[in-house]
Chains A and B, each alone.
Chain A
């Protein structure tokens, strides 16, 4: 029992409506009306045992999307189902799979979930249905935790093998001969949470699927794919790029839903100069507690593990102060033991826990029953995620509430200030680049290890010249060409060196020399700025000082310390254009994308005191420069634009810096990327274009497709950034928009707005170069 029998969301909503202070902070209150169910009868040719099992669970008819998925999958189409949380999505794949397995018990299916926790959870529902059908369908999870003695049974007897892409890549495909039964009879591959497979992870997964299909061909099977995705702009495109095959989109949701109130909430400004708002954590605590106090089952999403812990503590304290059991509030995140997590999930379902504070771990389809309120502590990074998190509160009947509380980061500010954008058609398209050379090469090696390539063979729809890649590997003594086949010729297990979550193959190990243990690893490209000598490295909110960064051996020795400052490294970045893929005049300048070499030279680091942020010292960093070849978008302005704009070259430089700051913050929004996926650099006179130029490049060697997408959509990116900067209440720049005035100069913000307006002008096919004349009214064109 939750202990609050008479709580009432409706009454609480009325109360909030009357609360002027609360209202003032809301930038939007959107009511999404309730929807009626659209149902369909069970399609024909469905095994009566399956229909019986559904009916025994009270399901007399299917929702229309479930029935459509079932019919299309049975017809042999690849499908991607795009419907919101709690719409009965799992039946969209469980029904076709079970129908097949009941009819032909020798058939097999493979389920892939992006994370391990999720796969464990999905099994329960499946087991339940299987038991009700009375059929003999064996379902097993196969991942790193599967005991060795269970593996043999799973390999031969598992009808449905549930695993994750990493395990498929490194544990199953390289040992395919032990999985003969599975691969010979594989009928369905299920990819849930498809929208996770984007950027680096998606580029890897596309290659893992190339390998999977290659192995299936070897064993004579040709599985169909059933995918599920959250709402994104391009689910069909994403699925067909991952599968390299035609995919039907099933997106007519037939599930009913109750009325949902979606509130966008911006904490009040406490320091206008610095653009500082009241802490998002404290606001989230207060908002969540308001609902918890009334007994509404509530989930709070936080972006970091640390924030989860802090918020959990705060909310428990609030409970105690009211003499309620603090255990009604629980934290939930990766790093908790699986048994702890299962216990919390169960307690949420049966109502013995009232509130849970979670990372996005609970955003995925883990069954926690239906809650009434979802509070997001900060914008989750993508609109798709925000909808999934909001969907955690929401029932098929009755009202639910989602409150998104903005932090002071530019993206958060943009979202709360632009509800039309937020509630409009999902703006983000997932991008990936399976032919990223680093990633492609890794998987060509893995594939060659699995089965020798034959002359003339293709690797999926790989656009690069496979023959040349294979020759290259032959020259490096990794492959040997004999007869008409390319044989693996190295005493290594290639999948062991390839992580699906990273585009580089190198990591730096951080070693705690006092306790003699490894505390973490970071990507080689970012290492010089994070673990240079003397750097303060934070791990699980503990401080370590780097004693020595051993560049050759890719190892950083760290020592636990307690100091009142952190370090911030600065580097000098240089960009050299190697190849232009495409170049087009834009009304306000010139846009292009191509291949670039980015060199980064770490220069110095500053010691910055906590809280006051004063500079308390600095030092040089002595590390060699690093070069990365990747893809970049760039936009160049007219040679004399600074004169036309009436500023000095130096001011122009600061304005461009402000521009780069805001673009690197907003660009990830358009490509469903994380902030570290992209970097922006500005140059007053780029050696290549000889003009003022801003580059936005993929921060992964070889590029994973972000910059191409930005090139295509650059006017919209510039306009969105312009709206964000224009709408920011700070006078001359703050961390929530173009960066603090100290960094970008007194006119930086103003210039950034004008430069953004130039870049944001709609391309009407007019050849340009004139630029400024058309953009003399930046505010007007920003509206265009």
Chain B
């Protein structure tokens, strides 16, 4: 019995595709749009496209990203030191890989890299026709990286960049400096647009924010299988959609950056986005800017639930600024319109300790407790602590009132 027969019999094949004869290796043809590129490690294929700076990718022209000012970059990265990030010298990067689960067995077979240069925006796609072309591809990538001072990706901090670092090690190649200032726009997108988008893939941003139209796009999870088929069948048409997918991804990086910069300038017409910017400023302790941004968001608010959230953030930000009177105005609106418990508590505190209006404080506490006793709140145990706090405040207020009366 041959080894293969034994393997089949003992069921070692769990999770393995059925056997198929290995075809004779087909000649490595060139692909349209790609040219062979050789170096000391071998040959791979590369395509190059130069886009004019005014090229519009969706709603934004590429050059808008160049106009991104330091303040905006700091907000986009939620890190002031990234204000020094030089977009004109950054490498825009996106990879297509043989797997999504990570680990050393996953390879980037297509690497899209792009950057601004005086005459436009140049996109290169580095492609390996088979696994043995990887060292040459990686070596060329390291040369391209040398000219750049930063990296822009979408989820590259946890996926593309560590994966490439692994590939350099696994191929025993001198690793380039990958630890450059890195603007990962997935993190930016989460902060800016999560208040209105349920999904934060690059494709959903394109649809909802960037106005980029993709047709006939290939879903990311299909890409490894397409490459594996290409390896055995050598049909370039299999990969055409992958090449254009990758190209669009790289271009969209620029548009996300442009859209983010516009949002930071307060020019966007989207309330969720304005709120996202405000929250980011708040988190960066840029209090006054945050207050302005909250107000800009409020100006567009049509939806009550979001308005309540924004107003609450505004009230807190004002209080942190020391602007207690304006903060109280916001809390009062919240209390009047929604019987908001946070608002009633804040107003009670203010009345008790700041304006010394014990009757007002007492009224707020009673209103809050009444609200807590309404059927929707009564069932929720998480309010127990709040109820306890209110009750002890009531007790203290009663004592103070009694003393004041006496």
Interface presence of B385 (CB below 8 A) = no
How many chain-B residues does the 8 Å CB contact rule pick out? 43
Residue among B3, B17, B169 facing the most chain A CB atoms (10 A cut-off): B3
Q: Which residue of A lies closest to B17 (CB)?
A: A477
Interface-forming stretch among A95-103, A137-145, A444-452, A638-646?
A444-452
Task: Assess the A492–B101 pair: CB atoms within 8 A.
Answer: yes
Residue among A174, A473, A476 facing the most chain B CB atoms (10 A cut-off): A476
Task: Assess the A472–B4 pair: CB atoms within 8 A.
Answer: yes
Task: List, in ascending order, chain A residues with CB within 8 A of B132's CB.
Answer: 482-483, 485
Of the candidates B2, B22, B102, B105, the one whose C-beta lies within 8 Å of that of A450 is: B105
In the complex, chain A residues 453-497 whose Cβ is within 8 Å of any chain B Cβ = 464-465, 468-469, 472-478, 480-483, 485, 487-497
Of the candidates A465, A475, A506, A579, the one whose C-beta lies within 8 Å of that of B19 is: A475
Interface-forming stretch among A51-59, A175-183, A285-293, A321-329?
A175-183
Task: Assess the A449–B103 pair: CB atoms within 8 A.
Answer: yes
A121 CB, nearest partner CB in chain B, Å: 30
B380 CB, nearest partner CB in chain A, Å: 23
- Distance A449 CA – B99 CA, assembled complex (angstroms): 11
Of the candidates B18, B105, B130, the one whose C-beta lies within 8 Å of that of A482 is: B130
Task: Assess the A492–B99 pair: CB atoms within 8 A.
Answer: yes
Task: Assess the A491–B224 pair: CB atoms within 8 A.
Answer: yes
Task: Assess the B105–A448 pair: CB atoms within 8 A.
Answer: yes
Task: Assess the B105–A629 pair: CB atoms within 8 A.
Answer: no
Task: Assess the B20–A477 pair: CB atoms within 8 A.
Answer: yes
Residue among B9, B98, B170 facing the most chain A CB atoms (10 A cut-off): B9
Given contacts A177-B165, A449-B103, contact A491 B225 (CB under 8 A): yes
Task: Assess the A180–B15 pair: CB atoms within 8 A.
Answer: no
Mark each residue of chain A from 665 to 694: 1 if its CB lies under 8 Å from any CB of chain B, else 0: 000000000000000000000000000000
Task: Assess the B12–A578 pair: CB atoms within 8 A.
Answer: no
Task: List, in ascending order, chain B residues with CB within 8 A of A465's CB.
Answer: 3
Of the candidates B3, B4, B169, the one whose C-beta lies within 8 Å of that of A180 is: B169
Task: Assess the B12–A438 pair: CB atoms within 8 A.
Answer: yes
Interface presence of A505 (CB below 8 A) = yes
Given contacts A452-B131, A477-B228, A629-B6, contact A177 B104 (CB under 8 A): yes
Task: List, in ascending order, chain B residues with CB within 8 A of A468's CB.
Answer: 2-4
Task: List, in ascending order, chain A residues with CB within 8 A of B302's CB.
Answer: none
Interface presence of B304 (CB below 8 A) = no
Interface presence of A597 (CB below 8 A) = yes
Interface presence of B21 (CB below 8 A) = yes
In the complex, chain B residues 267-320 whose Cβ is within 8 Å of any chain A Cβ = none
Interface presence of B16 (CB below 8 A) = yes
Of the candidates A441, A474, A489, A627, the one whose C-beta lies within 8 Å of that of B7 is: A441
Given contacts A451-B170, A475-B22, A476-B17, contact A491 B99 (CB under 8 A): yes
Task: List, in ascending order, chain B residues with CB within 8 A of A438's CB.
Answer: 10-12
Task: Assess the A701–B11 pair: CB atoms within 8 A.
Answer: yes
Task: List, in ascending order, chain A residues with CB within 8 A of B7's CB.
Answer: 437, 441, 469, 472
Mark each residue of chain B from 145 to 164: 1 if its CB lies under 8 Å from any CB of chain A, else 0: 00000000000000000100
Task: List, in ascending order, chain A residues with CB within 8 A of B50's CB.
Answer: none
Task: Assess the B10–A175 pair: CB atoms within 8 A.
Answer: no
Mark each residue of chain A from 485 to 529: 1 if its CB lies under 8 Å from any CB of chain B, else 0: 101111111111100000011100000000000000000000000
A215 CB, nearest partner CB in chain B, Å: 9
Interface presence of B213 (CB below 8 A) = no
Task: Assess the B98–A177 pair: CB atoms within 8 A.
Answer: no
A484 CB, nearest partner CB in chain B, Å: 9
Task: Assess the A450–B228 pair: CB atoms within 8 A.
Answer: no
Given contacts A487-B131, A506-B14, A597-B9, contact A174 B224 (CB under 8 A): no
Residue among A452, A474, A489 facing the most chain B CB atoms (10 A cut-off): A489
Given contacts A180-B169, A468-B4, A472-B7, contact A480 B100 (CB under 8 A): no
Task: Assess the B104–A489 pair: CB atoms within 8 A.
Answer: no
Of the candidates B11, B20, B104, B107, the one whose C-beta lies within 8 Å of that of A475 is: B20
Given contacts A469-B3, A578-B1, contact A491 B10 (CB under 8 A): no
B21 CB, nearest partner CB in chain A, Å: 7
- Distance A481 CA – B130 CA, assembled complex (angstroms): 10
Mark each residue of chain A from 4 to 46: 1 if its CB lies under 8 Å from any CB of chain B, else 0: 0000000000000000000000000000000000000000000
Task: Assess the A493–B102 pair: CB atoms within 8 A.
Answer: yes
Mark each residue of chain B from 93 to 112: 1 if its CB lies under 8 Å from any CB of chain A, else 0: 00000111111110100000
- Distance A497 CA – B1 CA, assembled complex (angstroms): 27
Task: Assess the B105–A449 pair: CB atoms within 8 A.
Answer: yes
Task: Assess the B103–A489 pair: CB atoms within 8 A.
Answer: no
Task: Assess the A491–B100 pair: CB atoms within 8 A.
Answer: yes
Task: Assess the B225–A489 pair: CB atoms within 8 A.
Answer: no
In the complex, chain B residues 7-47 whose Cβ is within 8 Å of any chain A Cβ = 7, 9-22, 25
Task: List, in ascending order, chain A residues with CB within 8 A of B15's CB.
Answer: 492, 497, 505
Interface presence of B166 (CB below 8 A) = yes
Interface presence of B200 (CB below 8 A) = no
Q: Which residue of A lies closest to B103 (CB)?
A: A174
Interface presence of B231 (CB below 8 A) = yes
Task: Assess the B101–A491 pair: CB atoms within 8 A.
Answer: yes
Residue among B9, B11, B21, B232 facing the most chain A CB atoms (10 A cut-off): B11
Interface presence of A295 (CB below 8 A) = no
Task: Assess the A489–B19 pair: CB atoms within 8 A.
Answer: no
Task: Assess the A177–B99 pair: CB atoms within 8 A.
Answer: no
Task: List, in ascending order, chain A residues with CB within 8 A of B19's CB.
Answer: 472, 475-476
Interface presence of A655 (CB below 8 A) = no
Interface presence of A702 (CB below 8 A) = yes
Task: Assess the A579–B104 pair: CB atoms within 8 A.
Answer: no
In the complex, chain A residues 210-230 whose Cβ is within 8 Å of any chain B Cβ = none
In the complex, chain A residues 268-300 whose Cβ is within 8 Å of any chain B Cβ = none
Of the candidates A472, A493, A597, A629, the one whose C-beta lies within 8 Å of that of B103 is: A493
A464 CB, nearest partner CB in chain B, Å: 7
Q: Which residue of B lies closest to A173 (CB)?
A: B104
Q: Which residue of B lies closest to A219 (CB)?
A: B169
Task: List, in ascending order, chain B residues with CB within 8 A of A492's CB.
Answer: 15, 99, 101
Task: List, in ascending order, chain B residues with CB within 8 A of A178's CB.
Answer: 162, 166
Task: List, in ascending order, chain B residues with CB within 8 A of A483's CB.
Answer: 131-132
Task: List, in ascending order, chain B residues with CB within 8 A of A506's CB.
Answer: 14
Task: List, in ascending order, chain B residues with CB within 8 A of A482's CB.
Answer: 25, 130-132
Residue among B16, B17, B224, B225 facing the most chain A CB atoms (10 A cut-off): B16
- Distance A346 CA – B146 CA, assembled complex (angstroms): 57
Of the candidates B4, B25, B104, B228, the one whose C-beta lies within 8 Å of that of A175 is: B104
Task: List, in ascending order, chain B residues with CB within 8 A of A477's CB.
Answer: 16-17, 20, 228, 232
Residue among B14, B225, B228 facing the most chain A CB atoms (10 A cut-off): B14
A298 CB, nearest partner CB in chain B, Å: 44
Q: Which residue of B lies closest to A464 (CB)?
A: B3
Task: List, in ascending order, chain B residues with CB within 8 A of A495's CB.
Answer: 103
- Distance A627 CA – B11 CA, assembled complex (angstroms): 10
Q: Which residue of A lies closest to B170 (CB)?
A: A177
Task: Assess the B104–A451 pair: CB atoms within 8 A.
Answer: yes
B212 CB, nearest partner CB in chain A, Å: 27
Task: Assess the A476–B16 pair: CB atoms within 8 A.
Answer: yes
Given contacts A475-B22, A485-B131, A491-B224, contact A437 B6 (CB under 8 A): yes
- Distance A750 CA – B6 CA, assembled complex (angstroms): 41
Task: List, in ascending order, chain B residues with CB within 8 A of A491's CB.
Answer: 98-101, 224-225, 228
Task: List, in ascending order, chain B residues with CB within 8 A of A497's CB.
Answer: 14-15
- Distance A477 CA – B229 CA, assembled complex (angstroms): 10
Task: List, in ascending order, chain A residues with CB within 8 A of B16's CB.
Answer: 473, 476-478
- Distance A178 CA – B33 CA, assembled complex (angstroms): 36
- Distance A478 CA – B9 CA, assembled complex (angstroms): 19
Task: Assess the B99–A490 pair: CB atoms within 8 A.
Answer: yes
- Distance A519 CA – B22 CA, assembled complex (angstroms): 43
Q: Which 9 A-B pairs have the closest CB atoms?
A: A449-B105, A488-B105, A491-B224, A483-B132, A487-B131, A177-B166, A493-B101, A174-B103, A177-B169
7 sampled A-B residue pairs with Cβ under 8 A: A437-B3, A451-B104, A469-B7, A489-B228, A493-B99, A505-B15, A628-B10
- 4 more A-B contacts (CB under 8 A) besides A175-B166, A491-B225, A505-B14? A177-B166, A178-B166, A441-B12, A629-B9
